[in-house]
Amino acid sequence: MNTLSNALDNGQFNLVYNILSLGIASMLFTAIFLFVARERVLPRYRIAVMVSATVTAIAAYHYFRMFDNFSHAFAGAENNPDAYNVGYRYVDWLLTVPLLLVELVAVLALAKAAQSSILNRLVPAAAAMIVLGYPGDAKLDIWGIAPSVWGLLSTIPFLYILYVLFIELGKSLSRQSEAVQKKVKILRLLLIATWGVYPITFILAMGTPPGAPFNASEFVAREVGYSIADILAKCLFGLIIYSIARIKSAEDDKEFAKAEFKDA
């Protein structure tokens, strides 16, 4: 046994410790970068960049909380895995997933009516997906419902979100330029690749029913899976949004293009 934690071996402890620390660094500095770089796009795209900065700032805060909570629960005086609260992740997602969707819709600068029609469907679906997943991940005993059933219920709004993003939003893409369409396609691929990691990670960690003893490898798989997915889904996604905003700014305004892109 190791000296750090009763529940995790040294390798497991260090892996989660380092990945949470990487989470803090990625979220914090992406937020600062996006905040400072917001001036490098036209005002009409600034809101998309500011929302991306906000998402990563909210996540930086929650990664600080998780890091601190992890250190106390697994190595501090408490040394009790039950003191680790997966709720920080779910509160983070509850705030950031709707904002990620806003970011995506905002950068496309769709007509107001199309924007609100898409968001009015996506935001409640995102909230339902997260609220239904929580009891499964926190191993809450609600009417004896197994974690896998919560996962299944949460998958219904998840599939609906993918449908709206790929089918409905796809229709409005034909109005965008060639260069923007290419970037948006990359963005959607990134979205499906990273958002897909969340349910897979959930499956890796859902084997332990409520009340069962702590399972170290499931715990480590979950923390590593969610953290990597979060870094890609928030930071990389936000940076691609920024680059779409730059391309669109240059397309809309020749003066901007001349000042910002040498080859324009």
Binding site for ligand RET (CB under 6 A): 93, 96-97, 100, 129-130, 133, 151, 154-155, 158, 195, 198-199, 202, 230, 233-234
Residue with tokens 């046994």, as numbered in its chain: 1
Q: How far is the CB of 264 from ligand RET (least distance, A)?
A: 33
Taking phi over 0 as left and psi of -120 to 50 as alpha, with beta for the rest, 109 belongs to left
The CA-based angle 155-204-185, given to 5 degrees, is 55
Q: How far is the CB of 158 from ligand RET (least distance, A)?
A: 4
Nearer to ligand RET by Cβ, of 5 and 26: the residue is: 26
Nearer to ligand RET by Cβ, of 4 and 136: the residue is: 136
Nearer to ligand RET by Cβ, of 149 and 257: the residue is: 149
Q: How far is the CB of 199 from ligand RET (least distance, A)?
A: 4
Nearer to ligand RET by Cβ, of 25 and 259: the residue is: 25
Q: How far is the CB of 133 from ligand RET (least distance, A)?
A: 2
Would you call 1 exposed, middle or buried from its count of C-beta atoms within 10 A (0-12, 13-18, 19+)? exposed
Nearer to ligand RET by Cβ, of 201 and 249: the residue is: 201
Residue nearest to ligand RET (CB): 133
How far apart, in Å, are the Cα atoms of 177 and each of 183, 198, 232, 245?
A: 10, 32, 25, 13
Q: How far is the CB of 242 from ligand RET (least distance, A)?
A: 16
Q: How far is the CB of 130 from ligand RET (least distance, A)?
A: 6
Q: How far is the CB of 198 from ligand RET (least distance, A)?
A: 3
Helix axis angle for 178-195 and 197-204, nearest 10°, is 10
- In angstroms, rounded to a whole number, what is the distance separating the alpha carbons of residues 137 and 143? 15
Nearer to ligand RET by Cβ, of 36 and 193: the residue is: 193
Helix axis angle for 237-252 and 87-108, nearest 10°, is 20
Whether 100 and 119 have beta carbons less than 8 Å apart is answered as no
Nearer to ligand RET by Cβ, of 48 and 100: the residue is: 100
Burial 77-94 (b: 16+ CB within 10 A, else e): eeeebeebebbbbbebbb
